[in-house]
Structure 1
Amino acid sequence: MNITKNNVDALNAVVTVQVSKNDYADKVTKVLTDYRKNANIPGFRKGAVPMSLIEKQYGKAVLLEEVNKLLQESLNKYLVDEKLDILGNPLPKVTEDFNWDAEDFSFDFELGLAPQFEVDLAAKNNLVQYNVIADETMLNAQVARIQKQYGKVVSKDTVEEGNDVSGIFANAEKGINNRATLDFETFADAKTAKAFLGKKVGDVVTLNTKGLFNDDHKLMDVLAIGHDDVHGLDIEVTFTIDEVVGYEPADLNQELFDKLFPNGEVASVEDLKAKIKEDAEKQFEQQTKQKFLNDVTEHLVENTKFDLPAEFLKKWIQTSGEKELTPEEAEQEYNNSEKSLRFQLIESKIITQNNLQITFEELKDYTSELIKKQMAQFGQMNPTDEDVQGIVARVLGNQDEVRRLSEQVMNEKLLALFAEKVPAKSKEVTYEDFIKAMYGELN
């Protein structure tokens, strides 16, 4: 057997596998001999069927199967031995007049080669690493929500200051029909809240969606419409009131503090605000890290330039699924997945260049901490190590879970690397401004 490679260009190659009779003859003979031993053909005793009859009946099929096995094994070994970095899988070149009656065969396979490129993490950019703070306005609002949550609920017939109203938002033309509960503090204009004062259950209030809330994403929630549909939405909607609820706010006393923090950590409003600030900013930190990871990913995909063997990949996509695609479907699929493929290549390069490996011990430790946090949420604050490790063993016995958790660990390693090596402007913002930045609305 002889295997050769011809580079068509930097991203495409053709591998030719030449198979001679000596490569497959013994294997074919062995299979046919086994067939002969077990063949049940009328007129012949078992094991006494003439080999010529076996060859006539099964020879071509066995030849095809054995040659194809040989091709697969030898081609895979060649790719490994030559350390060829390919995209997709080798595609056999179809030969219309291929002659299976010959003794020697030649097969051509198209390869899509991975591009050569460099990733410059330190390149100049416009990236921002956000630090979200819980400001006094947010803390006061959260304290008020706690008082409301733990206060006494009073059903009302008529809307008064400080009430919540529930009802149905509707607009037939846009297909809007969604029940929502409104807290008047969320309205952008105080005049809107005043329009509800004095209304009763069953009354209908007509509202304009433009500028109804300070944050359009609130509008998206209460109308149950998509993110792309909500921006610039300027229509009238009706709100039919079906429930009015008032609240007697809970007193800010030790009884309330102990309900919130049973371990005696809070003894004053100042302590309460400090705890709210600490907990909120921990949650913000996770969100800002994820945004930074996403932003760096987007930046690298947009600014790391390299070509792909596009035509090869379209042909591979066309034939690699359960159902063969049309050329048009394959092109659409390629266009949809190109960005993801580019980042996979970039990420792989970053991992290799920076030796970002995951050890099994790291995976176990990460899983242990995750399980402890989850157990704490259900009140199990001090689980035994034996209990935790038992759950870890079960989780890591599932390959899908291992894959998912490994991705999370690698994301943390990438994030730490990006924080160290990717230059970014640090910016302190309120949570409200961070949400705007998330959706590209913060200048």
Structure 2
Amino acid sequence: MNITKQQIDELNAVVKVAISKEDYQEKVDNILKDYRKQANIPGFRKGQVPIGLIKKQYGKAVLVDEVNKLLQDNLNKYLTEEKLDVLGNPLPKQQDNFNWDNEVLDFEFELGLAPNFDVKLKSKKAITQYKIVADKKMIDEQVERIQKQYGKLVSKTEIGTKDEVTGVFKNEDEEIENKTTIELDKVKSKKAINALVGKKTGETVTLNTKGLFKEDYLLIGSLGIDREKAEKLNIDVIFTIEEINERQPAELDQELFDKLFGKDNVKSEKELKDKIKEDSEKQFEQQSDQKLLNDVTEKLIEDTKFELPAEFLTKWIQVSGENLLTDDQAKEEYDKSEKGLRYQLIEGKIIKDNDLQVQLDELKEFAKGFIKSQMAQYGHLDPKEEELENVANRVLGNQDEVKRLSEQLMSQKLLDLFKEKANLKVKEVSYDNFVKEVYG
């Protein structure tokens, strides 16, 4: 067998493979002999079918199969040994006069080659790195929510402006009948508030659904209807009052602090607010990090210029899926995927240049951290190391999970690298301002 490469240009090449009979004939003959031993053909005893008949029936199929195996194995080996960085897969060139009976079988494959380029992490224009801070308003609101959540309900006979009212919404024409609890401080309509305040259990109130609540989702839950119906709804509903309660806020005392954070971990209102601030900003960091990763990615794609073997890749996309695409479909798919392909190449270059690797021991520690945070969401705040180790071993026994966690860990390594080497300017913002700037 002889394999040679013809360089067309920097991004395209053709590999020629010449296979002679001596490369495959012995293997083909052995397979046909095995076929002869097993063949059941009328008129012949098993194992006594003439080899000529076996070759006539199966010879071409066996030859094609063995040559294709040789091609695949040796072409992959050649690409590895020659350290050719190919995009997609080699594409066989159409040969109109090909003859499987030739003494030497010649094959040609088109290659699309990855471009050579450099990546500069430090851009001329600084990229904004948001630091989201929990401001006083947010912290105070969170304290108020905690006090409300852990407070106690006191039964009342008459509705006040901040009470919780349980009752049934009803409209026969729209087939609405749903028992729910509403909080008056979440009602938007002043007319509705005025109609409710002062009412007693057993009484009914007619309310209009349009603009009833401050948040749209509250109407969906209160009436027991779907989102699509709620968006258009402008009807009167009868609300029958069954129960009235005032939620008295919990005291900010040691009993509440221990319930929230464990015994003696927080000992004062100031420490509570400091803890809320710390936890909130830790959660915000995930959002600001994702924003930074997206912005650096976009900047790298914009600043890192290189050509791609577009014609080859379009042709490869055309034939590589389950169904053959038309020229226009393949071009459209290439245009959609080009940006992603560019970043894959850029990311691979960054990983190689900075020797970023995922080691098994650090992957296990990363998995433990992920597992610990998941446990914390369900109230398990202090798992033992042995417990984390056992869960991590089970998780890492699943190859899909290994792949997913490895990608997350590499993404974290890239983020740390960008924070260290990219041209960043830190901007402190409240969460509300972050949302306005980033999402409009």
TM-score by length of 1: 0.81
The farther-off stretch of 35-44 and 349-358 is: 35-44
User: Quick check: 1:159–1:199 contact (8 Å CA) kept in 2?
Assistant: no
The farther-off stretch of 235-244 and 123-132 is: 235-244
Aligned to 2:150: 150
For the residue of structure 1 that corresponds to 2:404, the secondary structure is helix
Indicate how the Cα distance of structure 1 residues 203 and 50 shifts in structure 2: closer, same or farther if over 3 A, else same: same
For the residue of structure 1 that corresponds to 2:194, the secondary structure is coil
Indicate how the Cα distance of structure 1 residues 388 and 37 shifts in structure 2: closer, same or farther if over 3 A, else same: same
Indicate how the Cα distance of structure 1 residues 333 and 199 shifts in structure 2: closer, same or farther if over 3 A, else same: farther
CA distance in 1 between counterparts of 2:408 and 2:425 reads 25
CA offsets, 1:11-56, max 9 Å, x none? Answer: 2221111112222222222222222232222233333322221211
The farther-off stretch of 78-87 and 313-322 is: 313-322
Aligned to 1:59: 59
Alignment of 1:207-246 (within 5 A): 207=211, 238=234
Q: CA deviation at 1:308?
A: 1.7
User: Quick check: 1:159–1:196 contact (8 Å CA) kept in 2?
Assistant: no
For the residue of structure 2 that corresponds to 1:75, the secondary structure is helix
What is the one-letter code of the residue matched to 1:404?
R
Q: CA deviation at 1:236?
A: 8.7
Alignment of 1:279-298 (within 5 A): 279-298=279-298
2:207 is aligned, of 181, 195, 203, to 203
What is the one-letter code of the residue matched to 1:387?
E
User: Quick check: 1:207–1:237 contact (8 Å CA) kept in 2?
Assistant: no
Aligned to 1:248: 247
Q: CA deviation at 1:408?
A: 1.2
Aligned pair count?
A: 409
For the residue of structure 2 that corresponds to 1:404, the secondary structure is helix
CA distance in 2 between counterparts of 1:182 and 1:313 reads 59
Indicate how the Cα distance of structure 1 residues 138 and 84 shifts in structure 2: closer, same or farther if over 3 A, else same: same
CA offsets, 1:140-181, max 9 Å, x none? Answer: 22222223323345799998644679999xxxxxxxxxxx99
Aligned to 1:171: none
Q: CA deviation at 1:311?
A: 2.1
Q: CA deviation at 1:135?
A: 0.9
Indicate how the Cα distance of structure 1 residues 117 and 183 shifts in structure 2: closer, same or farther if over 3 A, else same: farther
CA offsets, 1:87-127, max 9 Å, x none? Answer: 11111112233222222211111111111111110121341
The farther-off stretch of 280-289 and 78-87 is: 280-289
CA distance in 2 between counterparts of 1:250 and 1:134 reads 22
Aligned to 2:409: 409
CA distance in 2 between counterparts of 1:113 and 1:18 reads 22
In the TM superposition, structure 1's runs of 4+ consecutive aligned residues that sit over 6 Å from their partners are: 154-159, 164-168, 180-187, 218-224, 243-246
Indicate how the Cα distance of structure 1 residues 355 and 344 shifts in structure 2: closer, same or farther if over 3 A, else same: same
What is the one-letter code of the residue matched to 1:386?
E
- % identical aligned pairs: 53
User: Quick check: 1:266–1:272 contact (8 Å CA) kept in 2?
Assistant: yes
Instruction: Give the gaps of 5 or more residues in structure 1.
Output: 169-179, 225-234
CA distance in 2 between counterparts of 1:330 and 1:12 reads 19
Indicate how the Cα distance of structure 1 residues 331 and 377 shifts in structure 2: closer, same or farther if over 3 A, else same: same
2:360 aligned with 1:360, yes or no? yes
User: Quick check: 1:158–1:198 contact (8 Å CA) kept in 2?
Assistant: no
Aligned to 1:421: 421
Alignment of 1:288-367 (within 5 A): 288-367=288-367
Instruction: Give the gaps of 5 or more residues in structure 2.
Output: 170-179, 197-204, 222-230
Indicate how the Cα distance of structure 1 residues 205 and 48 shifts in structure 2: closer, same or farther if over 3 A, else same: closer
Q: CA deviation at 1:375?
A: 3.2
For the residue of structure 2 that corresponds to 1:101, the secondary structure is coil
Indicate how the Cα distance of structure 1 residues 157 and 327 shifts in structure 2: closer, same or farther if over 3 A, else same: farther
CA distance in 2 between counterparts of 1:240 and 1:270 reads 47
For the residue of structure 1 that corresponds to 2:364, the secondary structure is helix
Indicate how the Cα distance of structure 1 residues 276 and 222 shifts in structure 2: closer, same or farther if over 3 A, else same: farther
Aligned to 2:190: 194
CA offsets, 1:375-397, max 9 Å, x none? Answer: 34444444443332222221111
Q: CA deviation at 1:359?
A: 0.9
TM-score by length of 2: 0.82
CA distance in 2 between counterparts of 1:324 and 1:360 reads 41
Indicate how the Cα distance of structure 1 residues 184 and 80 shifts in structure 2: closer, same or farther if over 3 A, else same: farther
